[in-house]
Amino acid sequence: MSEGIRGKMHSPALIKSEGEGLASCIDREELLAIKLERQKRLLCKSGLLWVTIQDDRNDYLLGGEKEMQIPRSRKVLIEAEKPSCFQID
């Protein structure tokens, strides 16, 4: 595993998500990088996620049971501020 921007990066460093969805849990300061071919919904099921989207000047904090739309064809970094579970669909 390689070091991420602020924490540990999951391997593989970039997950391309084209299927039905992705559900995962990550520990505090773990970092997940994904690229979505289509617009998808990111739902934080528990914990607190820091979300950074390529070409978006804003970063987003997403707490338990909150959701946001992730634009297509952009890299997305998801970092857990505390142990967190999320779903992308």
Number of domains observed in the structure of the chain: 1
In a domain, 16, yes or no: yes
CATH number at residue 73: 2.60.120.10
In a domain, 3, yes or no: no
pLDDT of residue 17: 52
In order along its 89 residues, the chain shows pLDDT tens digits of: 334 444 454 443 445 555 567 888 999 989 999 888 899 999 999 999 999 999 999 999 999 899 999 999 999 999 999 999 999 99
Three-class secondary structure of residue 72 per DSSP: coil
CB 45 within 8 A of CB 54: no
| pTM score of the predicted model | 0.78
Q: Which domain holds residue 63?
A: 8-88
Three-class secondary structure of residue 80 per DSSP: strand
pLDDT of residue 19: 56
What is the C-alpha separation between 54 and 52, in angstroms, rounded?
7
